[in-house]
């Protein structure tokens, strides 16, 4: 196994332990990357709760109808003709999606999408799923992020795809909820601003500023769903200290944040150095009312070396 491959596995293992905001109200302006979008300001207006809930229902319906039923009518109904694609293996445009689904459904007629959790904020919706392409297989851990325009049409899409392994070191699968209450639904909306401040402050303090003291904000039991990391926060400060010494040129760029209730999803680009293609990662955090992160899920995907089928990058 190459040193580069080992290094990237180390990134996925250590950085995915990210969990709770240091200095809950502080977000370093110099390190918080603004969301990158190809939409206009008018398309990016903040949605009200009823619109966010509608967008969540549409996102789930589109995924299930396309992949499970092969129903191309939902693409015409809910996806813009000039749909912008950030999956490197797919071209832009609604017709490209329809062509892809025709081939996909013919290959995998028993595909089940298995949506696990959905959150929305403004014009963004995140769907965390376990798509199983063939019965009896473990499938993948997938995070889809959709941006809706002001008319309620899907205008843009990002995703991160990771194979589900046979075993995990923590005994948790990649999708369930262990912390109480054991629900995949987001908590009350009044928690959203608090949860977002906590998670983004932690992310920036630990991963962007490389300050391992941020791990003191983890709960002791800290439930982990990254398959390579044990539960609990003990020992993480030392692990991160050693990691940052080993990779002093690490670059982590936060691209977009979606928060609802006690759940916060952070889409980011991780690189070991400026020349590294790196990884696309979505970390999902569950923040407790006491200001500590209780639980963490993620999906990690290497940025491919092959030329993409669109000009948009994964971010």
CATH topology of domain 42-163: Nuclear Transport Factor 2; Chain: A, (3.10.450)
Quote the pLDDT of residue 218: 84
CATH of the domain spanning 3-36+171-302, picked from 1.10.10.10, 3.40.30.10, 3.10.450.50, 3.30.1330.10: 3.10.450.50
CA distance 158 to 280: 10
pLDDT in tens, the chain (315 residues): 333 343 444 444 444 443 322 222 223 333 333 333 444 333 444 569 999 999 999 999 999 999 999 999 999 999 999 999 999 999 999 999 999 999 999 999 999 999 999 999 999 999 999 999 999 999 999 999 999 999 999 999 999 999 999 999 999 999 999 999 999 999 999 999 999 999 998 899 899 999 998 887 889 999 999 999 889 988 888 888 999 999 999 999 999 999 999 999 999 999 999 999 999 999 999 999 999 999 999 999 999 999 999 999 999
Q: For residues 93-112, b (16+ Cβ closer than 10 Å) or e, as one string?
A: bbeebeebbeeebeebeebb
- Helix axes of 3-15 and 236-246: crossing angle, nearest 10 degrees: 140
Q: What are phi and psi of 65, to 5 degrees?
A: -65, -40
Let me know the angle formed at the C-alpha of 246 by 270 and 314, rounded to the nearest 5 degrees: 10
- The CATH 3.10.450.50 domain(s) of the chain lie at 3-36+171-302, 42-163
pLDDT at 47: 66
């Amino acid at each position: 196994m190459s040193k580069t491959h080992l290094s990237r596995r180390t990134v996925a293992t250590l950085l995915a332990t990210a969990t709770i905001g240091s200095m809950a109200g502080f977000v370093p302006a110099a390190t918080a990357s603004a969301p990158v979008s190809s939409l206009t300001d008018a398309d990016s207006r903040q949605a009200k709760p009823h619109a966010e809930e509608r967008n969540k229902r549409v996102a789930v319906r589109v995924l299930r109808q396309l992949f499970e039923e092969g129903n191309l009518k939902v693409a015409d109904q809910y996806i813009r003709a000039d749909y912008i694609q950030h999956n490197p293996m797919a071209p832009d445009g609604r017709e490209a999606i329809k062509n892809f689904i025709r081939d996909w459904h013919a290959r995998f007629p028993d595909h089940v999408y298995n949506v696990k959790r959905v959150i929305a904020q403004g014009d963004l919706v995140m769907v965390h799923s376990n798509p199983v392409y063939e019965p009896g297989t473990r499938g993948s851990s997938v995070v889809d992020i959709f941006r809706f325009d002001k008319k309620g049409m899907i205008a843009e899409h990002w995703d991160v795809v990771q194979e589900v392994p046979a075993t995990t070191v923590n005994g948790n699968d990649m999708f369930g909820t262990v912390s109480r209450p054991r629900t995949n639904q987001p908590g009350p909306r009044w928690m959203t601003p608090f949860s977002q401040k906590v998670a983004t402050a932690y992310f920036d303090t630990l991963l962007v500023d490389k300050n391992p003291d941020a791990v003191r904000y983890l709960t002791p039991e800290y439930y982990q769903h990254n398959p390579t990391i044990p539960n609990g926060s003990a020992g993480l400060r030392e692990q991160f200290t050693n990691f940052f010494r080993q990779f002093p040129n690490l670059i982590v760029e936060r691209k977009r944040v979606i928060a609802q209730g006690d759940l916060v999803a952070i889409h980011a680009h991780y690189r070991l150095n400026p020349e590294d293609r790196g990884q696309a990662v979505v970390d999902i955090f569950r923040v407790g009312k006491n200001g500590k992160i209780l639980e963490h899920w993620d999906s990690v995907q290497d940025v491919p070396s092959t030329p993409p089928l669109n000009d948009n990058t994964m971010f």
